[in-house]
Amino acid sequence: MEFLVYIGMAAIVFSILGNFSFETIWNKARVATKDEVSQNARFVLARMSFAIRNAQAINSPLAGSSSPALSLAMLAAAANPTVFDLFNGAVRISEGGSPPESLTSNEVTVTSLQFLNVSYIGTPGTIRIEMTIEFNNASGRHEFDFTERYYTTINLRKR
C-alpha cells in the first residue's frame, strides 16, 4: 500500500515538473517570436525615420494621399531618390536608382505597409507609417503565431 502511495506522489511531482518544463519551452519560443518581429520593426522604422528626417522633400505620396511606396528627394545625388516599398512580404529600400535591398529578415513577413502624407502647406513635410508584421510560422505551431501592427509619424527636418 505504501508503495502505491509513493508511486502516486512521484507521478504527481513528475507531472508538475513536466508541465513546468513544457510551459518554459513554450514561453521561450513565444518570446523569441515576439523579439524577432519587434527587432525587424524597430530596424525598418529606424531606417525610414533616418531617411525621412534627412530628406529634402517628399516626392510621393502627395499631401493628403496614401501609398504603399514612399519616394523621398534627397540632398545627396547618390541617394536621390530614396524609395521604400513592400515586395513579396519584405520592406525594401532603393537609393539613387540602385537595385532594391530588403530591410526585413526571412523570419518575418510584412503583410501591409502604408505611407500617408499628412503634411500641411508651408511645412517641410510629415509622413505617417502603418505597418503590419507577422512571424513566418512554417511549422504551424501555435506558439509561433504572432502578428503586430506598428504606427509612427515622422517629420522632415526644417532646412
Instruction: Express each pLDDT in 2-33 by its tens digit.
Output: 788 888 888 888 888 777 777 777 777 788 88
d(C-alpha 65, C-alpha 75), whole Å = 24
Q: Which residues contact 45 (CB under 8 A, 6 or more apart)?
A: 129, 131, 150, 152
Distances (CA, A) of 120 to 28, 65, 123, 127, 148: 46, 12, 6, 11, 29
Q: Mean pLDDT lowest for which of 60-64, 80-84, 155-159?
A: 155-159
Inform me whether the pLDDT recorded for 159 exceeds 70: no
pLDDT tens track for 77-105: 888 899 999 999 999 999 998 999 999 99
pLDDT digits (tens, 9 = 90+) for 98-150: 999 999 999 999 999 999 999 888 788 999 999 999 998 877 777 788 899 99
Q: Find the mean pLDDT for residues 31-49.
A: 93
User: What is d(CA 73, CA 83) in angstroms, rounded to the nearest whole number?
Assistant: 9
4, three cell numbers? 502505491
What's the pTM value of the predicted model, to 2 decimals? 0.78
CA–CA separation, 22 and 25 (whole Å): 5
Range 50-69 average pLDDT: 92
Domain ranges of the chain: 2-155
pLDDT in tens, 46-59: 999 999 999 998 99
CA distance 99 to 145: 32
Q: Mean pLDDT, the chain, as a whole number?
A: 88
